[in-house]
Amino acid sequence: MRPPDRRQQRTRMALLAAFRDLMFAERYDRINVAAVCERANVGRSTFYAHFPGKDALLAASMQPLLSTLADVAVSGDSPSLLWLLAHFWEQRRHGRVVFAPPLRRILERELADRIHERLGPAQRIAALQIAAAQLTIIDAWMTGGVSATPAELAARLSATARLVTPP
């Protein structure tokens, strides 16, 4: 197996960084591929060699966070859960952007897909239910709708693993 091409990795990272910067400067619906390309200093064809579109770029940028939540949903634990919650809390000002439509719908679908991959084919409904529950409680916590310490929230998120029961 060949090691990954460093140029491709740098380009992918540049696209992700450009997208992240634009996300916090513009509304999602105002960000387009041309703006990401310009900020990353790459051409459109290069962008499409790495991502099929803007939603895929969003999913890729959130991949580490979604993977942690998916792990918690299935096993009830993840070594990086407290770090993730601390990150969400520190970035809660941006939560209004990330947890609002249309991004919320995209994130929920992507998280459900990650959970579904871990649970297996017969558990699609459970994956959707858990993804919605996790994002709802995190959003409520970040916006002041519920009060909890990160450890208390981690315990509640871990409890979602108990929702996974055979039909």
pLDDT, tens only, 73-93: 888 888 899 999 998 888 888
> Average pLDDT, stretch 86-115?
86
Residue 69 tokens read as 């939540």
Residue 51 tokens read as 């991502």
The pLDDT assigned to 164 comes to: 63
Percentages helix, strand, coil for the chain (3-state, rounded to 5) are 75, 0, 25
Which residue has 């996974």 as its token pair?
164
Lowest-pLDDT range of 16-20, 83-87, 90-94, 124-128: 90-94
Question: Residue 116 — pLDDT band, cuts 50, 70, 90?
Answer: very high
| pTM for the full predicted model | 0.82
Residue 110, burial from CB neighbour count under 10 angstroms (0-12, 13-18, 19+): buried
CB 29 within 8 A of CB 97: no
Residue 100 tokens read as 């609002």
Q: Is the confidence at residue 162, as pLDDT, over 60?
A: yes
CB 76 within 8 A of CB 65: no
Cβ count within 10 A of residue 76: 16
d(CA 148, CA 142): 10
Query: By percentage, how much of the chain surpasses pLDDT 70?
Result: 96
Q: Is the confidence at residue 165, as pLDDT, over 60?
A: no
> Average pLDDT, stretch 4-32?
89
> Average pLDDT, stretch 109-136?
91
Question: Residue 167 — pLDDT band, cuts 50, 70, 90?
Answer: very low
Residue 5 tokens read as 């091409």
